Amino acid sequence: MGKENTIWFFEDTGGLKLGLPVENILYHGRSNYQDIYVLEVKDHGRALILDDCIQLTERDEFVYHELIAHPALFTHPCPKQVLVIGGGDGGSVREILKHKSVEHVDLVEIDAKVIELAKRYFPSISKDLDNERVSIHITDGTQYVKITDKKYDVVLIDSTDPIGPAKALYEINFHQDLVRIMKEDGIMILQSESPYYHADFIKKVKSQLQTIYPVVQIYTYAIPTYPGGMWSFIYASFKHDPLSVDEAAIKERWQGMKTKYYNPRVHKGVFLALPQFMLEE
Ligand code: SAM
């Protein structure tokens, strides 16, 4: 396709447009929850788009999935029971299962269509969804946390942006409900948007979490296909501080694990290298 008649997909935040040149539309449909595109795009492989927001591309999904999982799983001394809310593409599950101590992962995804499409179009990301250590629950995460009788060492909130079904995952009553199913030294990670464009939102969520957890820290990372190129997670724990881990011990556990972004230096770096505007926030 010549440059002049290239079709582009744009994620439009209202103040910024992020574009991907489309080579092929592999799927387009509307599930009970969201509008879904699977696109073949130039230089980034395939892309999953939910309600016109880029969720992931094959080229840079490793950044997000390694960093939602490994800082928590290496800070916890021996994570066994893990819960993922959202994450229907399977990327977080793939990273979690690299930890041999993990006995079981519950994946709670509201939209079965996302899992179906991830298996069909993103095999390198969804490959571990059928692993015997994984159980998939097709339900709303806000309901699951109210009814399960399980307790978790680590909980990853791997959700879409805080609008639509994901909005409730950022509200304080959901996080108060979540406490019931966390072990007393549990760790929770929350996808927390862009430090450039959502600073007030991050500040609000962080201060709400500080009413529940003694340890609450933000960490950031560079990811090309999210608006602004810099994204964040919030780390919250009843006990374990990600910066007080012993680097040599992490290095020992990390040896032999295949990662493309995470390493024992990055573990502390993502928490320590916060730009001044974030510290002042
Ligand atoms: N892991 C991807 C990435 O790299 O950013 C994006 C996250 S994943 C696609 C987000 C998932 O959260 C979606 O599949 C969406 O259906 C799911 N989700 C949104 N709200 C939810 C809720 N309340 N309970 C469970 N899953 C939810």
75 has a pLDDT exceeding 80: yes
Task: Give the mean pLDDT of 223-244.
Answer: 97
- Answer whether 106 contacts ligand 1 (Cβ < 6 A): no
106 vs 237: CA distance, rounded Å:
19
Q: How many other CB atoms sit within 10 Å of the CB of residue 137?
A: 16
Please state the atom number of ligand 1 nearest to the C-alpha of residue 91: 1
- Percent above pLDDT 70 for the chain: 99
Please state the atom number of ligand 1 nearest to the C-alpha of residue 64: 4
Q: How far is the CA of 84 from the centre of ligand 1 (A)?
A: 10
Task: Give the mean pLDDT of 101-128.
Answer: 98
Separation of CA 181 from chain center: 19
- Per the CB < 8 A criterion, the answer to whether 71 and 259 are in contact is no
Q: Residue 230 forms beta bridges with which residues?
A: 222
Query: Which residues, 6+ apart, have CB-to-CB distance to 115 below 8 Å?
Result: 88, 90, 109, 126, 129, 136, 138
Task: Give the mean pLDDT of 113-126.
Answer: 98
- Answer whether 88 contacts ligand 1 (Cβ < 6 A): yes
Q: How many other CB atoms sit within 10 Å of the CB of residue 201?
A: 15
Residue of 53, 110, 163, 190 to mutate, ligand 1, most atoms within 8 A of C-beta: 110
Tell me which residues are annotated as active site.
158
What is the band of 5 on the pLDDT scale with cuts at 50, 70, 90?
confident
Q: Write out the residue limits of the CATH 2.30.140.10 domain(s) in the chain.
A: 7-57
155 has a pLDDT exceeding 90: yes
Q: Write out the residue limits of the CATH 3.40.50.150 domain(s) in the chain.
A: 61-280
What is the band of 3 on the pLDDT scale with cuts at 50, 70, 90?
low
Q: Given this model, what pLDDT does residue 4 score?
A: 67
Average pLDDT over all residues of the chain: 96
Q: Given this model, what pLDDT does residue 6 score?
A: 87
What is the band of 2 on the pLDDT scale with cuts at 50, 70, 90?
low
Task: Give the mean pLDDT of 84-112.
Answer: 98
Q: How far is the CA of 53 from the centre of ligand 1 (A)?
A: 12
- Answer whether 56 contacts ligand 1 (Cβ < 6 A): yes
261 has a pLDDT exceeding 90: yes
CA nearest to 190, candidates 148, 153, 221, 155: 155
Q: How far is the CA of 210 from the centre of ligand 1 (A)?
A: 24
The CATH number given to 7-57 is 2.30.140.10
What is the band of 1 on the pLDDT scale with cuts at 50, 70, 90?
very low
Note the pLDDT tens digit of each residue in 204-222. Answer: 999 999 999 999 999 999 9
Query: Whose C-alpha lies nearest to ligand 1, atom 1?
Result: 87
Task: Give the mean pLDDT of 187-206.
Answer: 96
Query: Whose C-alpha lies nearest to ligand 1, atom 19?
Result: 166
Q: Given this model, what pLDDT does residue 183 score?
A: 98
The CATH number given to 61-280 is 3.40.50.150
